[in-house]
């Protein structure tokens, strides 16, 4: 089975439902149900669902991935560490996309993304069966040109640029540093697109910081979770997603 790239609708929104599971797990109960959140996100205009199955299963569980694969009709972006266990699960479920993220300190670059440069040989072998199975393999990396070039070299289809530092700098009021980080993200996005990679971005995005990222024309998808789940407490998940979508679309239209 192959998963062609979904039709671009300007800029896609992937809704990360991990923290619905965090709330569920806090009480060891069955609710709130991440699948229900995913189905609601779909109705509210999400283009995809992202779920991170961590090695320690602190939020999403194996049964959530099974339920999502069986029930959602938009693509699933399965986030995981590059371990044998996760590779076997990805090959079992064959989600639309597999996004490799660092979970351990030694897998990370200084900026917090995956160290594709330092682990290139292993990652090349790791992603080969996933590519053969038809999954779009994505590397969650910093905007470091070396990490971008390495991702292209090892055969990844997608890079997701880590927006965590940009988000933190803005939240802490370091406007100039945030501007510099934004410029580096823009340059990284252009470099990745020129290398033939599809470009995604995510981490720490909110209503207040999403627009400059959404305005980067080569970015095809944003993955957003924690803020949306928090905002859902106040306005409901559907409305929280619709507002994010609205801001993304305005920023993208204005950039054209």
Nearer Cβ to ligand PXP (205/215): 205
| Range 27-66, binding ligand PXP (CB under 6 A) | 52
- Applying CB under 6 A, which part among 1-9, 208-216, 224-232, 245-253 lies near ligand PXP? 224-232
Least separation in angstroms between residue 226's CB and ligand PXP is 3
Should residue 247 be labelled a site residue for ligand PXP when binding is judged by CB under 6 A?
A: no
Nearer Cβ to ligand PXP (193/205): 205
Q: Which residue has the tokens 């905007």?
A: 143
Question: 79 an active-site residue?
Answer: yes
Least separation in angstroms between residue 211's CB and ligand PXP is 15
Residue 180, number of CB atoms within 10 A of its CB: 13
The most distant pair of C-alpha atoms in the chain lies apart, rounded to whole Å, by: 47
Q: Where does the chain have alpha helices with state H?
A: 18-27, 34-43, 62-71, 84-93, 120-132, 145-154, 164-171, 175-194, 210-214, 226-235, 237-255
Binding mask 117-156 for ligand PXP (x = CB under 6 A): -----------------------x----------------
Query: 152 phi and psi, to 5 degrees?
Result: -65, -45
Question: 143 an active-site residue?
Answer: no
Picking from 56, 59, 38, the residue whose alpha carbon sits closest to that of residue 47 is: 38
Question: 3 an active-site residue?
Answer: no
Least separation in angstroms between residue 39's CB and ligand PXP is 19
From residue 85, give the alpha-carbon distance in Å to each of 90, 162, 235.
9, 24, 38
- Applying CB under 6 A, which part among 62-70, 90-98, 184-192, 199-207 lies near ligand PXP? 199-207
Nearer Cβ to ligand PXP (23/256): 23
On whether the CB atoms of residues 241 and 15 are closer than 8 A, the answer is yes
Nearer Cβ to ligand PXP (1/211): 211
Should residue 78 be labelled a site residue for ligand PXP when binding is judged by CB under 6 A?
A: no
Chosen residue from 12, 15, 18, 154 binding ligand PXP by CB under 6 A: 18
On whether the CB atoms of residues 214 and 252 are closer than 8 A, the answer is yes
On whether the CB atoms of residues 78 and 62 are closer than 8 A, the answer is no
Nearer Cβ to ligand PXP (160/198): 160
Query: 199 phi and psi, to 5 degrees?
Result: -110, 125
> Which residue out of 79, 181, 198, 221 is catalytically annotated?
79
């Amino acid at each position: 089975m192959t998963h062609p790239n979904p039709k671009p609708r300007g800029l896609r929104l992937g809704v990360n439902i991990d923290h619905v599971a965090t709330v569920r797990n806090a009480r060891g109960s069955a609710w709130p149900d991440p699948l229900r959140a995913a189905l609601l996100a779909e109705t509210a205009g999400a283009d995809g669902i992202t779920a991170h199955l961590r090695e320690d299963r602190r939020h999403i569980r194996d049964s959530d991935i099974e339920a999502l694969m069986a029930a959602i009709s938009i693509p699933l972006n399965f986030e995981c560490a590059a371990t044998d266990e996760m590779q076997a699960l990805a090959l079992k479920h064959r989600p639309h996309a597999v996004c490799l993220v660092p979970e351990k300190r030694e897998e990370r670059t200084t900026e917090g993304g995956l160290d594709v440069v330092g682990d290139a040989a292993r990652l090349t072998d790791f992603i080969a069966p996933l590519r053969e199975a038809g999954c779009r393999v994505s590397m969650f990396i910093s905007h470091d040109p070396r990490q971008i070039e390495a991702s292209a070299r090892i055969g990844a289809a997608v890079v997701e640029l880590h927006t965590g530092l940009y988000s933190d700098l803005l939240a802490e009021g370091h406007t100039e540093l945030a501007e510099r980080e934004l410029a580096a993200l823009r340059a990284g996005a252009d470099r990745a697109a020129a290398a033939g990679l599809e470009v995604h971005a995510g981490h720490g995005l909110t209503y207040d910081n999403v627009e400059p990222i959404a305005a980067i024309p080569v970015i095809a998808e944003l993955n957003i979770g924690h803020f949306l789940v928090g905002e859902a407490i106040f306005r409901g998940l559907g409305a929280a997603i619709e507002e994010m979508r609205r801001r993304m679309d305005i920023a993208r239209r204005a950039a054209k």
